[in-house]
A and B are shown apart, each in its own frame.
Chain A
Amino acid sequence: MATTAVEAPVVGVVSEKVTDERVVRRRLGPGPRIPGTLWIGPVLLLVLWIVASATGVLDPRTLSEPWVVVETAQRLIADGRLPEALATSAYRAALGLVIGVGVGLVLALVSGLSRVGEALIDGPVQVKRAIPSLALMPLLILWLGIGEPMKVITIALGVLIPIYIHTHNGLRGIDSRYAELAETVSLRRGAFVRHVVLPGATPGFLLGLRFAVLNALLSLVVVEQVNATSGIGHMITLASSYGQTEIIVVGLVVYALLGLVADGIVRFIERKALAWRRTLESH
């Protein structure tokens, strides 16, 4: 039994002075941004690796010690192998990314702005979406050989899908009231696209871009392990045949850095481009 003690309200007594020390933030929001949060997790993992290697818990044949990896990285940089491989890989990924983003964006705009475009484009893209880009590689190798075009196109195909899906979604999500407004101020088609459609679809596009960057790296890793004669993937494959875990780790670290840097760039663009948005993230 709950005994509810109903106390008589104290009337006429000034209550104790309570200093209101509220943290100025949204009660149900994630709270203020903590600087450098992106790096806390990775740094923790690195510390764990150093400790495990130093205490001998981690066998060097399984995974090289961090300092050996650092030495190897210095050596690979000094003899020019790493910069060359990195340049090749970054170029591949960037080219595939640019082509994929361009094509995905154009397809999304055509499909989002006209019903005919939607009828022609949306179906095939949805079908393509169901087939993983990497599953198309055997066909692409048959058509294009094992050279650069095959690699770049495989990456582009992996990029195109998230760009298309999220941009198209963003376009369709634009409030129709803005289209009405555009009619009342007699905006032409071009100005309507520039002032309403593109900015309205930008949040969706940038979300798509984040997925696209990850897809580009994923595709990069796979295409570089198939018959590659250059690039980070080639370096790793070679090291694998000779059992050089330190080189493999250097390659992996480079991949990771590529991913983090690319994601960081997209996040930065996102914050700049979406300054108008009052979201939970900015408060």
Chain B
Amino acid sequence: MATHAGESLKETAVRVEGLHRSFSEAGGVLNGLDLTIEAGEFVALIGRSGSGKSTLLRALAGLDRAVAGSGVVEVPERVSVVFQDSRLLPWRRVLDNVILGLGGSDARTRGFEALSEVGLEGRDQAWPHHLSGGEQQRAALARSLVRDPQLLLADEPFGALDALTRIKMHKLLKKLYAAHNPAILLVTHDVDEAIALADRVIVLVDGVVGSDIRIDLGSKRSPGDPRFASLRAQLLAELGVVDSADSADSADSVEEEVA
């Protein structure tokens, strides 16, 4: 299934140049951000609160028309969004939520396929509020995938889930990524999640790309791996958090610098 992305690997899925966005006169949230994501590339976006992660994602999703700004944003034709909340319509059954807005006579068949792919076979006629938090997010993933996206935007999709469910969802997302190979931009505040899933981790600092780190750990990634640990330390340092108990002072100083 992943072969169709083979020759398009060099294509660009997302091109952002000089992106400015501001919600007030005082200062911008995005300050001339440049970003390129290749087709089929999995990019994680991390950053402190207010660094502009969600603003960037919303700009790519075309959800920020009311926000002042400038810059170039190029995204593929088919873009899907997964939000932190599953955002299933409570008055539509799961299958109808998955195929919401989908045309064509095969919509239901594709909906069933997507549901079984995320492990929700047999739940197609359930009401969303009868699903657990993890199942709701699975349904939201199915709703995104059924549209065969070239770009999947995920805004802290697992942020509201418990730790065990989150691990299962990581596996699921990896599996779906391998099968469909869309470009993915995953906004997260979880450094481990970013390292475990992405090909590239981008740290957003004050509305621009602070650093852009390639993750070359292969497909088997374990937090016990020393390279994993050193990447984590590096990323946490970029975020202004020092990952060790004896350096509380330097953590404070970074805190002040950023503020």
Whether A associates with B in a native complex is yes
Interface size class of A (residues with CB under 8 A): 20 to 34
A191 to B92, CA, bound (A): 13
Q: Which residues of A contact B79 (CB under 8 A)?
A: 184
Residues of A within 8 A of B61 (CB): 184
Q: Are A178 and B101 in contact (CB under 8 A)?
A: no
List A contacts of B87 (CB < 8 A): 177-178, 180-181
CB contacts (< 8 Å) of A182 on chain B: these are: 101
**Which residues from chain A contact B92 at a C-beta distance below 8 Å?**
195, 199, 276
Evaluate contact between A191 and B101: CB separation under 8 angstroms: yes
Residue A144 lies at the interface, judged by CB distance under 8 Å to chain B: no
Once bound together, how far apart are the Cα atoms of A275 and B93, in whole Å? 11
- Give CA–CA (A187, B101) in the complex, Å: 5
Contact (A184, B90) CB under 8 Å given A195-B100, A276-B127: no
Kindly list chain A residues whose C-beta atoms are within 8 Å of the C-beta of B128: 276
A180–B63 CB distance below 8 A = yes
Quick one: which of B80, B85, B87 has the most chain A CB within 10 A? B87
Interface of A is mostly: helix
B147 within 8 Å of A (CB atoms): yes
Chain A 175-209: CB-based contact to B (< 8 A → 1; otherwise 0): 00110111111111001000110011010000000
Instruction: Report yes or no: A184 in contact with B129, Cβ–Cβ below 8 A.
Output: no
Interface residues of B in 85-130 (CB under 8 A from A): 85, 87, 89-92, 100-102, 127-129
The residues of B that contact A26 with a CB separation of less than 8 Å are: none
How many residues does chain B have at the interface if contact means C-beta atoms less than 8 Å apart?
21
Contacts of B101 in A (CB 8 A): 182, 185-188, 191, 195
- The reply to whether B100 and A277 form a contact with Cβ atoms under 8 Å apart is no
Scan A249-282; emit 1 where CB is below 8 A from any B CB, else 0.
Answer: 0000000000000000000000000011110000
Binding site for A on B (CB under 8 A): 61-63, 79-81, 83, 85, 87, 89-92, 100-102, 127-129, 143, 147
Q: A177-B85, A185-B147, A276-B91 are in contact. List 15 more A-B contacts (CB 8 A).
A: A177-B87, A178-B87, A180-B87, A181-B89, A181-B100, A183-B63, A184-B63, A184-B80, A185-B100, A185-B102, A199-B91, A202-B91, A275-B127, A276-B92, A276-B127
Nearest first, the 9 A-B pairs at minimum CB distance are A199-B91, A185-B101, A184-B81, A187-B101, A276-B91, A181-B87, A276-B127, A278-B129, A185-B100
